[in-house]
Homo-oligomer: A and B are copies of this chain.
Amino acid sequence: MGQYRLLKKEECGIDSSFWNHYIEVVKKEVIPYQWNILNDNITDSEPSHAIDNFRIAAGEMKGNFYGQVFQDSDVYKWLEAAGNILLIKRDEELERKADAIIDIIEKAQEDDGYLDTYFTIEEPDKKWTDLLECHELYCAGHFIESAVSYYRATKKYKILDIASRLADHLCTVFGPEEGKNHGYPGHQEIELALVRLYECTGKEEYLNLARFFLDTRGTDDFFEEEFDRRGQISFWNKAKQKEPNIRYNQFSYKTYNQFHLPVRQQTEAAGHAVRAVYMYTAMADIASLTGDKELFGACRTLWNDIVNKQMYITGGIGSTHSGEAFTAAYDLPNDTNYSETCASIGLMFFAQRMLKTEVDRTYADVMEQALYNTVLGGMNYEGNRFFYVNPLEVVPENCLGNPERHHIKPVRQKWFACACCPPNIARTIPDLWEYIYTAGENTAYVHLFMGSQADINLDSGRLSIKQTTMYPWTNKIRMEVESDTQEFMTLAVRIPKWCGSYRVMINGSEADIPVRENGYIFIRDDFSSQTVIDMELEMKPKLMASNRNIHYNAQKAAIVRGPLVYCIEEADNGKYLSELSILADSPLEEKVMDQFGGAVMIQGKGVRKVNKTDAGELYTPYAAEEYKTDIRAVPYFLWNNREAGEMQVWIRTQ
């Protein structure tokens, strides 16, 4: 086990035509829209009341709490997104809005540090009595994350102080000591947040509390006892239940919240997917911070289970809407899945934290796969419409009429009653600079290919890397590398698994550098004068097949190009996509679209098979005819950016 660190903001900034657009969109569209949502300035959307909840808790307004019990987290995610945007570039107006909210939050915080408007307003005597369902620790976690981000951007202490008071309060309430609450959250999030706060403040209590939450989980009957203490009443429907969790009883209720086993003994990703990956993220973080090999081993086992058995080719996870959850190995249906945007964001977190302990391209490969497909696919190009659920196959009529597909929206939505995904995208995109590189002793690791300027402080000195690329649309990456010392340093660059071959040119000369076992090439040099490294990653479009245990994808292929998974849409191929087959031996051609910043479309040859005797009856004798046709595919993340209609990732082959 090694130790690698993420960069600080002053060490890295993105400057990429591809990503600048999305960062701009988050700033110009998503954050202002969310601000208006939170403040109930949008008339054709579900009321949020989130800011008003804080005003009421702060005593500035009269009224009742309204919204989900975790409504506060919408505000925190907005604040975190704002912090992440401000970290890139200060903005007075945005800062003024954020500061105003922080003032209200400060007033809503109780004297002992407690912060949760639902309980402050509605049930002040019920605090911490329903950790399983009531999301207090989840909200606390999101607040702490927002505080770290906002503080990092502005160096204003107020929000960090609120967060520290809250975290200190948690330390007095929770812990192994006698008299303290020995519980842990129903929705994990606080663990990774406490680690971030520890990294920001250096206060070990926070790290210890995070560890306590993880290590206690699944070792006792806490949730059962809590359930008995609250009279076996469910928060959700106020009725008596047989088991602590009422809503997802096709799973063991323990599995749904990942307390079926002590976390170190968990070997299969299970239950609610977002909770799972948030928890694994904290586990990986703590393993790296404490050098806990056993914990890291558990993380690696869970990682492998996800990546080798439970992940969509789009980096989506969570095969069922029922409990927004993992199901079973190889159960990856395309038209009933959930694959929540937030879960893929959580998978990126998990991957990033794994890279703090171990450099292996599996982490960066999957991080990239999730980012360029499901995460980016969760938002349209303009940043004003979203997907919460990310199916791989959609027939709009079947989604509208069938409860198994009812969660699948064939058209991007403005907002959601449970509004986790859009703000989660908004906080993640401006934070991508934190995913490109990690730093070892005298080695800089390049995990992602994004136009950026990095000035990385290694043990012997500073290594500057200016990355220039039109990735993912083109396969060329230029890195201009220079150090401020004569010492030898290493630049380790990921060669993605999808890349069949690669070229490396150093100062114009072809270099034959083998890829190491971990999937990286190592370029060792003193870099004291500028070194220009030009890389070309083979990224011709190709067809991918599934493991045969994914029965849903038998005899089908997905088109990929580099990190991008493609899909066919009705807009380009007409209705009845399932009648199409792609001719596997025919060439796949690239075409630059005149939309979406030079996105690359892929065109192949195929056939459409239609039954001749189709005559308005349900079933008629088989008499199929085939017609030749082109098959046109667009990047999955761009689907439903033009017109509504059918969509399909896995295409039948001939």
Q: Which residues of A contact B (CB under 8 A)?
A: 237-240, 248, 250-251, 307-309, 311, 313, 319-320, 322-323, 327-331, 333, 336, 395, 397-398, 400-404, 406, 542-552, 554-555, 557-558, 576-579, 581, 584, 609-611, 613-614, 616-624, 646, 652-653
Contact = CB atoms under 8 A, between A and B. Distances in A.
A402 B331 contact: yes
Contacts of A544: 619-622
Given A327-B402, A406-B250, A622-B584, A545 B611 contact: yes
A537 to B, nearest CB: 16
Contact of A331 (B401, B547, B578, B646): B401
B397 A652 contact: no
A560 to B, nearest CB: 8
Contacts of A404: 320, 322, 333, 336, 404
A398 B551 contact: yes
A542 B652 contact: no
Given A336-B336, A545-B620, A548-B576, A609 B401 contact: no
A624 B395 contact: no
Copies in the complex: 2
B545 A621 contact: yes
Given A239-B239, A554-B578, A619-B313, A611 B548 contact: yes
Contact of A610 (B250, B307, B548): B548
A404 B323 CA distance: 11
Nearest to A398: B331
Nearest to A582: B622
Contact of A239 (B237, B331, B620, B653): B237
A590 to B, nearest CB: 18
Given A250-B403, A624-B584, A395 B551 contact: yes
A578 B555 contact: yes
A572 to B, nearest CB: 17
Contact of A621 (B250, B319, B542, B578): B542
A542 B548 CA distance: 29
5 contacts: A237-B237, A331-B402, A543-B622, A545-B611, A554-B576
A621 B498 CA distance: 9
A610 B542 CA distance: 17
A320 B402 contact: yes
Nearest to A648: B551
Nearest to A251: B403
Contacts of A401: 327-329, 331
